[in-house]
Amino acid sequence: MLRPVFWLLHAIERLVYYCGRVFAHARMRRLFPGARALCDYSTVIKYPDRIRMGQDVWIGPEVSIGAMAGIVLEDRVRISHGAFIETGSLDLSGDVPYSHVGKPIHIERGVWIGAHAIVLGGVRIGRQAVVAAGALVVKDVPADAIVAGVPARVVGHRPIESPSS
């Protein structure tokens, strides 16, 4: 007896999911015209006018991007589920209420940011670097580096492909 109800609920869930995908795609085309970028409908983007978006950028579900001081996402950047990228902070040296301050973030071509990683302001992540899941990036990351931990440290390097002869 519950079987028809299950299928109806499942169909409604799929419909909501696909409508969310359509709305997310339309939002990305409106916010970043000309950029080929995919973004989940659950992604939160603060100050989208301060983000410079490259081509083929993929942003996963439940990602939060705060671009108060500006963010550059170059071509082929991948940001995994639940990552947090934030340029803004508070100036704790003043009186309450604290004023907002920010430092820009630059993520170069081919970077992969793992699930639930945190990237804070003032950071530059080099070409084709990998930020491991759960890492806290507070300093620059060199190109082709693999970083992990809290705070993130270089734990390895990606193999550099030799040009074919």
Cα torsion 127, 128, 129, 135: sign: positive
Reported as type and span, the H/E element at residue 14 is helix 3-31
Average pLDDT over the chain, rounded to an integer = 90
List pLDDT tens digits, range 9-18.
888 888 888 8
For 40-89, the pLDDT digits (tens) are 888 999 999 999 999 999 999 999 999 999 999 999 999 999 999 999 99
Please determine, for residue 165, whether its predicted confidence score (pLDDT) is greater than 50: no
Q: Which of 156, 148, 140 is nearest to 106 (CA)?
A: 140
Predicted confidence (pLDDT) at residue 4 exceeds the cutoff of 80:
no
Does domain 3-157 fall under CATH 2.160.10.10? My reply is yes
Burial of 44 from C-beta contacts in 10 A (0-12 / 13-18 / 19+): exposed
